[in-house]
Chains A and B, each alone.
Chain A
């Protein structure tokens, strides 16, 4: 491949990387992206074929003004976001520049534009892929700059460069540049972990991600039945500290509970929220729950995607939450709430009691007064259900035994389906008076909400207080990262019944719920592995907190690395001066830049060193190659002039004079001479057989 082709290819690679980085932000629409991609490819083919469009300077300048105006309008009237507008502006500008690549300065501008694109992208994406885009950018950047340097160096001495670029673009070149890219990344990342931070990013996103969640909702309406689609998108990732294998007993990630059933819908009548107090360890405690806790505490680190709710989840019985929040509220049913729905991924730690195992004991008199009456309320018209329940629970004495027998009954006799309430009602001869009756006596198939509702109602008919809870099942265990991947399809409803002596106890009458955990791995090993990367990315990069840095410092200190810990010591207060941070960033940036520049320089020098007579104008070498092809080979002991005399072809002598002048006289060829040389080369090509 010709050198110029390499140069164009690598410059476009860099432009492409800029576009990839920008595309990760979701700021530019797919249509825009595709159009940009097509334009870039078009200009690439035009350049590589050597047929660039010649845009007049005037046209180009007015185009630039239009683009700038469009960018301003975008910022001031449409997106109102500086980042969004500048990402679009930079992208359009880059595409325009690609059609106007003539001089070296144009290329330098292009590189600068891609750099700003990357910068803009870094400010507005938390996507893991950005890391790859960054790595790719560093790599292509080094390539482009090296080749650019070579090109400029050669152009200073030569007039045309048709020499094959094999001298530089060898495996060594690619290994060194890839190594350099990796090194820069490592330095950047290690810096990331060391430098203290207060916030998450420089430019927190302001616009809301409107992710549609079909899994979890704050309303349960079993009167309105319809098929449910399993949504595999991930809702949260949960790491259990200390656990390297899935927890032995099944965890239920509790969202909110409902106390009142009106015959079709569940509602919360106990809506009162209590602001929690933060204790000295930074945990918002749910006091009532902590008092009677003898159980083991399970600590979960949860990375929760925005799902348009202010509910935050905790396993089993949540007793506290810590995280970077202003405040946390809780309701009387043990659910946690943020002050407002959140629109970006959040990370928090939840503290929960593992489920208690109640003993089958008979209730005392006070039992029925311990809980509000709502938990025993049943709508009218459930006489038939009541009769059935009495039958199921006959012979059972304690509330626990009764509840277990109802749970077993539902699991055994009813079928799990995602499309309940079979649409074609003509097939069905009868239907119940209400959804619960319909489920129990007629359809006998349904999904978790119907099972849970039915069990809760059944419990109430025999005087056991109950409520319904919505939340998530643990989902999939990622063995690479040791955490649970919880998806929308893991959304679930279950029942909590008030057991004498034990309090609210979880029951799950849904049959498939047992099998969910045992389901064959929904994700391939590679998928799990990639998700682990995403988890780590989010956990350690995007949500990497000051606390984590403290932990890191402690670990380092613990390992006796006194040097580093001393260094950390100067940072480990909240009064960390931002100038320190800036200084460190600056120094590292300078170091990385220096390393990159030195490498580029040495690559250039190496490429030159590998060429015999690197200072010789390429046109002369080209001429020798041309003449050699025609059977006129210059002997090594022959001077250029002697050779020219012996060849005796018009143009060779004149070209040799110019060559001498450039090569030994340090002369810079004028445009006229360049044209002359081209003419000579053409005439030599023609005259020879």
Chain B
């Protein structure tokens, strides 16, 4: 097992990287493709979020495999996994953990909650109260939790995959923009293609269960991949491209709120990770362009009358299409 420190400084980056990394990432991809049929791009984006140290928000109607994707990703890595079903009566302590009195030891003791895992599946995150939501989101941002003035670091890697049903309004607490900003990407899975759907139909009941997946990556390997992302070369013109896109969202007459600097930062990092997923040691304009909707659309707010989420994605697409791609 190679560590980042072993690789850099001694061997040229490209060579190390090209021998090892693509096979690891593609094995992860192949593993996920066993249970998510006909959605290779979605899988790529999920992996991108993982190795970019980002959190993922999957938003779609029920039954398209949101949970399966999250679960599958967790299963593919030899790591701890927790699933939290968000309900309106869920309390922050149910996520973070509680401090209880240990009679044997005559002292208070912290009992870690389900958030102390490598991958958290926060199912239907919009069903719980803002108070509970924010406790999760704080943990996502800081990668640590503080209980009774004691800070408990979360394990590495740490990734939250949240799902929410965009069509349900009754009894939901939609995440505010400030909270949404914490997610690196918001993706939609969408309906499968006809051929893929047929395959899903014809497969046996256990075949698509995430439980049957075997881990293909260790946590160390995930951390290694995450360090590799930082080394991905981004040309100056591409940085300009990112900034131009972010700026264009702020200036667009169709958007009430444009992308934040964090949005640009996330796009930069996501593009680096996506390049690595694609097996490249450098970014190309396509990485940025392709990710711009996933990374930016949940961070912007459309003008009144265009509230529909799909509209926002359309607007971002339109903006990006109008920006000159570095040649």
Please judge, given known A-B contacts A615-B237, A664-B233, whether A640 and B282 are in contact too, CB under 8 Å: no
A591 to B207, CA, bound (A): 78
The answer to whether A637 touches B322, judged by C-beta atoms less than 8 angstroms apart, is yes
The answer to whether B325 touches A636, judged by C-beta atoms less than 8 angstroms apart, is yes
A616 to B326, CA, bound (A): 9
The answer to whether A637 touches B320, judged by C-beta atoms less than 8 angstroms apart, is yes
The answer to whether B238 touches A638, judged by C-beta atoms less than 8 angstroms apart, is no
B130 close to chain A: CB less than 8 A: no
The answer to whether B284 touches A639, judged by C-beta atoms less than 8 angstroms apart, is yes
The answer to whether B233 touches A639, judged by C-beta atoms less than 8 angstroms apart, is no
A608 close to chain B: CB less than 8 A: no
Considering residues A615, A663, A664, which has the most beta carbons from chain B within 10 angstroms of its beta carbon? Answer: A664
A612 close to chain B: CB less than 8 A: yes
- For A636, the closest partner residue in chain B by CB is B324
The answer to whether B233 touches A613, judged by C-beta atoms less than 8 angstroms apart, is no
A97 to B326, CA, bound (A): 42
The interface on chain A, measured as residues whose beta carbon lies within 8 A of the other chain's beta carbons, has a size of: 20
The answer to whether A665 touches B281, judged by C-beta atoms less than 8 angstroms apart, is yes
A209 to chain B, nearest CB (A): 63
A637 to B289, CA, bound (A): 9
Considering residues A612, A638, A639, which has the most beta carbons from chain B within 10 angstroms of its beta carbon? Answer: A639
Q: Which residues of A contact B11 (CB under 8 A)?
A: none
Q: Which residues of B contact A638 (CB under 8 A)?
A: 325
Q: When each residue 640-665 of chain A gets 1 if its CB lies under 8 Å from chain B and 0 otherwise, what string results?
A: 11100000000000000000110111
A666 close to chain B: CB less than 8 A: yes
The answer to whether B323 touches A664, judged by C-beta atoms less than 8 angstroms apart, is no
A640, A642, A665: the one within 8 Å of B327 (CB): A640
Which residues of A310-356 have CB atoms within 8 Å of chain B's CB atoms?
A: none
A620 close to chain B: CB less than 8 A: yes
- For B275, the closest partner residue in chain A by CB is A664
The answer to whether B286 touches A642, judged by C-beta atoms less than 8 angstroms apart, is yes
Q: Which residues of A contact B325 (CB under 8 A)?
A: 636-640
B237, B280, B286, B323: the one within 8 Å of A637 (CB): B323
The answer to whether A665 touches B321, judged by C-beta atoms less than 8 angstroms apart, is no
Which residues of B238-289 have CB atoms within 8 Å of chain A's CB atoms?
A: 238, 280-286, 289
Please judge, given known A-B contacts A616-B327, A665-B281, whether A639 and B237 are in contact too, CB under 8 Å: no
Please judge, given known A-B contacts A642-B286, A664-B283, whether A620 and B327 are in contact too, CB under 8 Å: yes
A426 to B289, CA, bound (A): 110
A663 to B289, CA, bound (A): 17
A612 to B325, CA, bound (A): 12
A668 to chain B, nearest CB (A): 12
Q: Which residues of A contact B326 (CB under 8 A)?
A: 613
Q: When each residue 293-327 of chain B gets 1 if its CB lies under 8 Å from chain A and 0 otherwise, what string results?
A: 00000000000000000000000000011111111
B235 close to chain A: CB less than 8 A: yes
- For A620, the closest partner residue in chain B by CB is B327
A661 to B282, CA, bound (A): 8
Which residues of A647-689 have CB atoms within 8 Å of chain B's CB atoms?
A: 660-661, 663-666
- For B322, the closest partner residue in chain A by CB is A637
Is chain A's interface secondary structure helix, strand, loop, or mixed overall?
loop
Which residues of A593-651 have CB atoms within 8 Å of chain B's CB atoms?
A: 612-613, 615-616, 620-621, 624, 636-642
Q: When each residue 208-250 of chain B gets 1 if its CB lies under 8 Å from chain A and 0 otherwise, what string results?
A: 0000000000000000000000000101011000000000000
- For B325, the closest partner residue in chain A by CB is A639
The answer to whether B285 touches A665, judged by C-beta atoms less than 8 angstroms apart, is no
B14, B235, B284, B327: the one within 8 Å of A612 (CB): B327
Q: Which residues of A contact B237 (CB under 8 A)?
A: 613, 615
- For B324, the closest partner residue in chain A by CB is A636
A608 to chain B, nearest CB (A): 13
A492 to B304, CA, bound (A): 109
The answer to whether B284 touches A664, judged by C-beta atoms less than 8 angstroms apart, is yes
Please judge, given known A-B contacts A613-B327, A616-B327, A620-B327, whether A640 and B233 are in contact too, CB under 8 Å: no
A666 to chain B, nearest CB (A): 6
The answer to whether B322 touches A639, judged by C-beta atoms less than 8 angstroms apart, is no
A-B contact count, CB below 8 Å? Answer: 53
- For B285, the closest partner residue in chain A by CB is A639
Please judge, given known A-B contacts A612-B327, A613-B327, A665-B281, whether A639 and B286 are in contact too, CB under 8 Å: yes
A638 to B322, CA, bound (A): 9
Q: Which residues of A contact B233 (CB under 8 A)?
A: 664-666
The answer to whether B282 touches A665, judged by C-beta atoms less than 8 angstroms apart, is yes
Q: Which residues of A contact B285 (CB under 8 A)?
A: 639-640
The answer to whether A664 touches B235, judged by C-beta atoms less than 8 angstroms apart, is yes
Please judge, given known A-B contacts A613-B237, A637-B325, whether A665 and B280 are in contact too, CB under 8 Å: yes
- For B283, the closest partner residue in chain A by CB is A664
- For A642, the closest partner residue in chain B by CB is B286
B301 to chain A, nearest CB (A): 23
Q: When each residue 197-231 of chain A gets 1 if its CB lies under 8 Å from chain B and 0 otherwise, what string results?
A: 00000000000000000000000000000000000
Please judge, given known A-B contacts A665-B233, A666-B233, whether A639 and B282 are in contact too, CB under 8 Å: no
B17 to chain A, nearest CB (A): 11
A609 to chain B, nearest CB (A): 14
Q: Which residues of A contact B280 (CB under 8 A)?
A: 660, 665
Q: When each residue 465-478 of chain A gets 1 if its CB lies under 8 Å from chain B and 0 otherwise, what string results?
A: 00000000000000
A638 to B326, CA, bound (A): 9
A497 to chain B, nearest CB (A): 94
Q: Which residues of B contact A661 (CB under 8 A)?
A: 282
A531 to B280, CA, bound (A): 71
A674 to chain B, nearest CB (A): 19
Q: Which residues of A contact B286 (CB under 8 A)?
A: 639-642
The answer to whether B324 touches A641, judged by C-beta atoms less than 8 angstroms apart, is no
Q: Which residues of B contact A620 (CB under 8 A)?
A: 327
B73 to chain A, nearest CB (A): 26
Q: Which residues of A contact B320 (CB under 8 A)?
A: 637
Q: Which residues of B contact A641 (CB under 8 A)?
A: 284, 286
A641 to B274, CA, bound (A): 15
A637 to B241, CA, bound (A): 11
B235 to chain A, nearest CB (A): 5
Q: When each residue 143-174 of chain B gets 1 if its CB lies under 8 Å from chain A and 0 otherwise, what string results?
A: 00000000000000000000000000000000
A613 to B237, CA, bound (A): 9
- For A613, the closest partner residue in chain B by CB is B327
Q: Which residues of A contact B323 (CB under 8 A)?
A: 636-637
- For B321, the closest partner residue in chain A by CB is A637
Which residues of A352-389 have CB atoms within 8 Å of chain B's CB atoms?
A: none
Q: Which residues of B contact A624 (CB under 8 A)?
A: 327
Q: Which residues of B contact A639 (CB under 8 A)?
A: 284-286, 289, 325
B238, B321, B322: the one within 8 Å of A664 (CB): B238
Q: Which residues of B contact A637 (CB under 8 A)?
A: 320-325
- For B236, the closest partner residue in chain A by CB is A615
The answer to whether B324 touches A666, judged by C-beta atoms less than 8 angstroms apart, is no
Q: Which residues of B contact A613 (CB under 8 A)?
A: 237, 326-327
A640 to B284, CA, bound (A): 9
A663 to B325, CA, bound (A): 13
A550 to chain B, nearest CB (A): 59
A631 to chain B, nearest CB (A): 19
Q: Which residues of B contact A664 (CB under 8 A)?
A: 233, 235, 238, 282-284
A661 to B14, CA, bound (A): 12
Q: Which residues of B contact A612 (CB under 8 A)?
A: 327
A660 to B237, CA, bound (A): 13
A636 to B322, CA, bound (A): 8
B249 to chain A, nearest CB (A): 15
A556 to B322, CA, bound (A): 67
- For B282, the closest partner residue in chain A by CB is A665
Q: Which residues of A contact B284 (CB under 8 A)?
A: 639-641, 660, 664
A422 to chain B, nearest CB (A): 89
Show 15 residue pairs from A and B whose CB-CB distance is below 8 angstroms, ordered by the A residue. A613-B327, A615-B237, A624-B327, A637-B322, A637-B324, A637-B325, A638-B325, A639-B284, A640-B284, A640-B286, A642-B289, A660-B282, A663-B235, A665-B282, A666-B282
User: Besides A640-B325, A641-B286, 5 other CB < 8 A contacts?
Assistant: A624-B327, A636-B324, A637-B323, A637-B324, A637-B325
4 shortest interchain CB distances as A-B pairs: A665-B282, A613-B327, A636-B324, A637-B321
Q: Which residues of A contact B (CB under 8 A)?
A: 612-613, 615-616, 620-621, 624, 636-642, 660-661, 663-666
